[in-house]
Amino acid sequence: MKLYVAERSGNAHKARLFLSILGVEYEAVDVAYLSLQGPEFRVKNPRGQIPVLEVDGRHIWDSQAILVYLARRYGGEDWLPTDPDGMAEVMQWLALSENELLLGIAQARIGTTFAAGNEDVILVPLDRAKRYAARGLRVMVERLAAHDWLALDRPTIAEMACFTYAALTHEAGIDIAPYGAVARWLERVRSLPGFVAMPGMEAVPA
């Protein structure tokens, strides 16, 4: 099993984090951003993005799809239940991760920390990205003010999908302090057995 990644990719970290927590062995293959749109890599992912999980000659692209695949293959019912109510509870947080958190925190992070040379991946103006981020963080606070986890009563792939960019708000120029319930949840995720960080997370306040 191979996972195509880049060191500072938040989406790649989601897959790396879940693989580590599951205890699944894999080979990480670093991919240069400039090669993503090349014909060789686009065979693996026609969208020219990372992460990509290679399993038995198949290529699974998109971090959400990879989380679902890993949960179903290795996690049983624990990480992604198959009952309609439980699955819906988890999947709605994957939707938040791909909307408010991606268009908000991830885009603000690009605009704040990585703008130089990355203008082609800036989809949302910085001020609008920060508004999206605040909206997503408020939704998380509403849930986490009364619950330890985003879905159900245990960690699920909702945590894997939402953790990374929430843990990198400082790189997006966003103060996590007003979102205390989210900050406490970040620490719970960091305490999970097998947790792995990525560059930039060292600055997350305890």
For residue 49, the domain's CATH number is 3.40.30.10
pLDDT of res. 163: 98
pLDDT in tens, 127-136: 999 999 999 9
- Stretches where the chain sits below pLDDT 50 are 205-206
pLDDT at 38: 76
Cβ 135 vs Cβ 99: under 8 Å: no
Residue 204 placed within a domain: no
- Rounded to the nearest 5°, which phi and psi values hold at 199? -55, 135
On whether both 89 and 122 belong to a single domain, the answer is yes
**Number of Cβ within a 10 Å radius of residue 154:** 11
What was the pLDDT predicted at 206? 45
Same domain, yes or no: 59 and 141:
no
CA 161, CA 87: separation in Å to the nearest integer?
14
Please name the residue that has the structure tokens 């606070």: 141
**Which range marks the domain in which residue 7 is found?**
2-74
**Percent helix, strand, coil in the chain (nearest 5)?**
55, 10, 35
State how many domains the chain has: 2
Q: Cα(56)–Cα(182) distance, rounded to whole angstroms?
A: 38
* pLDDT tens, residue by residue, 82-121: 999 999 999 999 999 999 999 999 999 988 887 655 556 6
Last residue of a domain, one of 35, 59, 74: 74
Q: What is the model's pLDDT at position 121?
A: 64
| Domain membership flag for residue 193 | yes
Maximum alpha-carbon separation in the chain: 48
Distance between CA 15 and CA 24 in Å, rounded? 11
Look up the CATH number of the domain holding residue 100: 1.20.1050.10
